[in-house]
Amino acid sequence: MKKYFLFLFIFIIIIFCFAFKVYAFEEKIEQISCDKAISLLKKKNPQILNANIEYEIAKNNIKIAHAIQNPKFVSDFFIGNVAKGNSNQLGLLFPIEVAKRKLRKNIAEDKADILYLQAQKTFTQEIKKLYFIYLSLCLEKEKLIIENEYLDFLNSKEYENSSYKDFITAKQQNNILQLEEDINIKRKTFNLMINGQNSYIVYDTLNIDIYNFEENNFIKDNQKQLIETETKILDKEIEAAYKNIQLTKNERIPDLIAGGGFAFEYGDKPYAADYSGAFISIDLEVPLFNFITPNINNSILRYEQAKLKKETFLENTQTSYESEKIQLNKYKKNLQFAKENLNKFLNSDNPEIIYTVKSDYLNSVFDLINFYFNPK
């Protein structure tokens, strides 16, 4: 009887564990807004987290760059006959950098500012990617609906040639399968951006009314913000490179090692105590063989390189602005034309016309958001 109850108890435990495992590993689908996705992006996106860590490291490097070097404990003890007439010494030596610490700290501060701006830039870029994926996922889900509706229409339509009907319905089914695969890929990319490797919760987009799409609903044209941030980064790099020239030149200035301590004699000499006292030490590092000239030349070249980098960036930005302005106007006109056709023929009795105007509208919206968030 005891064996029977023991067996029953073990069986119940196994069933319970199996059920808990299935429940724990079951994916939970949650539809979220774009704003909620952005808040998750801030907390879990690896690119943003890594950029913030780099900035924290840079802030610690400021303290490291401005740190005072540790003193050195020195001692000289003589043993044997050499101790007669020679004092033993015990004291501390302090390395003193001349005209270097402040510059090194300023350069470290500039580098921290650069990494802070880089973190802002990374966040803005990731938001752009998120907007594109979110909106394109909404578009493709809506497109899947109208593709299935069109497939139902093709199946219900009468054809004189049955083989032709089989051909066009098979082609439509293949289009639907490809679209479903694209949706799954985008959904996985969406979750990787905001959810990391957590596979227990699958986030999806809300069912927004994509046919009343307005640019200001989701599109925040942050390309201007990216350009401004990149310009600030380049200015900081120029500033840091210029300070590095001065720091490299100051490497020629000798550093000091100053210190002092207690000096004394010991032994059975009656006068030893009378010769106790102190010592002062000052050492000077003279750049006799290494004049740091190649380092100075390299720092000057890096400064010129930083200025050239900014000039190139501004030139490319100005050149691309004109062409992008033309493209933007083209996509806006296409969207306006597609929306007019949608409003005009949406209540048509012909399902093929409805399918065409809806598809054209969705494609026009996709072209516009693709231009905004994935500029060529």
Q: What is the pLDDT of residues 82-119, one digit of tens each?
A: 777 778 899 999 999 999 999 999 999 999 999 999 99
Topology given in CATH for the domain delimited by 33-65+97-252+291-373: Outer membrane efflux proteins (OEP) (1.20.1600)
Question: pLDDT-derived band of residue 198, with 50, 70 and 90 as boundaries?
Answer: low
User: For residue 119, what pLDDT is reported?
Assistant: 96
Dihedral sign computed on CA atoms, order 300, 303, 305, 308: negative
User: For residue 21, what pLDDT is reported?
Assistant: 46
3-state secondary structure of 121: helix
User: For residue 288, what pLDDT is reported?
Assistant: 77
The share of the chain scoring above pLDDT 70, in percent, equals 87
User: For residue 178, what pLDDT is reported?
Assistant: 97
Question: pLDDT-derived band of residue 177, with 50, 70 and 90 as boundaries?
Answer: very high
pLDDT digits (tens, 9 = 90+) for 11-53: 566 665 554 444 444 567 899 998 999 999 998 899 999 999 9
Residue 160 has pLDDT above 90, yes or no: no
Burial of 260 (0-12, 13-18, 19+ CB in 10 A): middle
Mean pLDDT of the chain, nearest integer = 87
pTM to 2 decimal places: 0.84
Q: Rounded CA gap, 299 and 338, in Å?
A: 57
Residue 222 has pLDDT above 80, yes or no: no
367 near 215, Cβ under 8 Å?
no
More confident residue, 208 or 150: 150
CA-closest candidate to residue 267, choices 75, 91, 88: 88
Q: What is the DSSP string of 174-205?
A: HHHHHHHHHHHHHHHHHHHHHHTT--SEEEEE
Mean pLDDT, rounded, for 227-250:
96
Q: Rounded CA gap, 204 and 314, in Å?
A: 39
Residue 344 has pLDDT above 70, yes or no: yes
User: For residue 26, what pLDDT is reported?
Assistant: 53
Residue 193 has pLDDT above 70, yes or no: yes
Q: What is the DSSP letter of 115?
A: H
Strands (E), the chain: 28-32, 72-76, 88-96, 201-205, 256-264, 277-284
283 near 297, Cβ under 8 Å?
no
pLDDT digits (tens, 9 = 90+) for 128-141: 899 899 999 999 99
Mean pLDDT, rounded, for 241-251:
96
More confident residue, 202 or 272: 202
User: For residue 324, what pLDDT is reported?
Assistant: 83
More confident residue, 353 or 216: 353
More confident residue, 360 or 285: 360
pLDDT digits (tens, 9 = 90+) for 280-318: 999 988 777 777 899 999 999 999 999 999 999 999 998
Question: pLDDT-derived band of residue 221, with 50, 70 and 90 as boundaries?
Answer: low
Q: Write down how long the chain is.
A: 376
In the chain, where the domains are located: 33-65+97-252+291-373
